[in-house]
Structure 1
């Protein structure tokens, strides 16, 4: 039965291959987007800019809030991934 199913669904193999590639690209993009290290580096750079007087306090707070929200989002994503068994 398994050979018959494989034979009948063989024309769909290119579609399955494209779906697999798209899944891998999405996984890589999510890993990059939810990686906390670049956000932490941006926070450090933002703090440095404020300390050196290159950025006003109001702008600093706005950008800091955005970056902290990204970190929260990253933590939530990592918790979801961990709860799914890293799938």
Structure 2
């Protein structure tokens, strides 16, 4: 029965393979996005931009909050519950 199933599903193999590749790409992108070393490097770059006058304080605060949220997720210390959702529109 297993061989028959594989033969019948053979035409779907490219779709299954593509889905697997997409899952792998998404997993790697998330790993890099939440990598603490990458986030810390981006925080240092952001501080440099503020010091050099390339961005203003409001832009710095907004982007810093985003990076700190990513860092919290990476470390498993992200806030839980409704307050973590932010204000509702």
Give TM-score, length-normalised by structure 1. 0.64
Measured in 1, the distance between the counterparts of 2:8 and 2:65 equals 55
Structure 1 residue runs of 5 or longer lacking an equivalent are 77-87
Matching residue of 1:74: 74
Q: 1:53 to 1:13 in 2, by over 3 A?
A: closer
The aligned residue for residue 65 of structure 2 is 65
**1:33-58 residue CA offsets vs partner (Å, 9 max, x unmatched):** 111212101222333455x4636555
1:30 aligned partner: 30
Q: Write the mapping of 1:11-30 to structure 2, written as runs, cut at 5 A.
A: 11-30=11-30
- Measured on the aligned residues, the alpha-carbon RMSD in Å equals 2.3
Gap regions ≥5 residues in structure 2: 77-89
CA deviation map 1:38-87 (0-9, x unaligned): 2101222333455x4636555443332222112112223xxxxxxxxxxx
Tell me how many residue pairs correspond in the alignment: 75
- Considering fraction of residues, name the structure with more helix: 1
Alignment of 1:44 with 2:7, yes or no, is: no
